[in-house]
Amino acid sequence: MVRFLLKLFLTVSCLIFFKTTVWSVEQTVVYFAFQYGIQDTGSPAPVVGQTDSYLSTLETKHGSLKGNRQVSPKVLSFDFYKTNGSVASGFGLEVHSYKKKYTFENDPSQVDISAVGFLYGLNFYYRG
C-alpha cells in the first residue's frame, strides 16, 4: 500500500510540475547567411518571363555570344526575429548581385551586365 501511494504521489507531482511549468523560450535570433550559386539568364522566368531581346539583337549584329548565359549571383541575407514560445516574428533583408561580361564571335565587342537586388520582408514563423 505504501509503495502504491508513493508511486501515485510521484506520478501526480510530476504531472502537476510539468503541467504548470511553462516551456516556452523567449529569445532574439539574428541570422546572417552568404549564398552563391548558378543562374541561367538565357531561360525565361516561369509564368511572367519572356525571352530577352537586347542580347538577341546584339547577336544578329556582332555574331553569337562566346560562352554561356550563366551567372553566379552572390546573396547576403540578414534575418532578425524574436521568438515567444512557438511563434516568432521579425524581418529579413537580402542583397543579390552578379556581374558578367559577354563577348561576341565576329568582333571584339563586349557587353558588361550587372544586377543588384535588394529584398526585404516581414517574417512570421510557427514552430508547432
Mean of pLDDT values over 100-122 = 89
The answer to whether position 18 is within a domain reads: no
Flag whether 87 is in a domain.
yes
Scan for cell 555574331, then name that residue.
Answer: 63
Confirm whether 12 is domain-assigned: no
Quote the pTM value. Answer: 0.61
Confidence category of residue 110, pLDDT binned at 50, 70, 90: confident
In angstroms, the CA 115 to CA 96 distance is: 8
Asked if residues 34 and 74 have their Cβ atoms less than 8 Å apart, the reply is: yes
Q: What is the pLDDT of residue 20?
A: 47
Instruction: Say how many domains are in the chain.
Output: 1
Rg of the chain in Å (alpha carbons): 28
Query: Does residue 17 form part of some domain?
Result: no
Percent of the chain beyond pLDDT 70? 80
Indicate whether 3 belongs to any domain. no
Question: For 59, which DSSP code?
Answer: H
Q: What is the pLDDT of residue 96?
A: 93
Residue 67 within a domain: yes
Least confident residue range of 16-25, 52-61, 73-82, 114-123? 16-25
Render pLDDT for 8-66 as a digit per residue (tens, 0 to 9). Answer: 777 766 666 555 444 456 788 888 899 999 988 777 666 666 666 677 788 888 888 88
Q: Does 2 reside within a domain?
A: no
**What domain range includes position 113?**
24-43+52-126
Distance CA 15, CA 21 (A): 10
pLDDT at 116: 93
**Partners of residue 120 on adjacent β-strands:** 93
Residue 6 falls inside a structural domain:
no
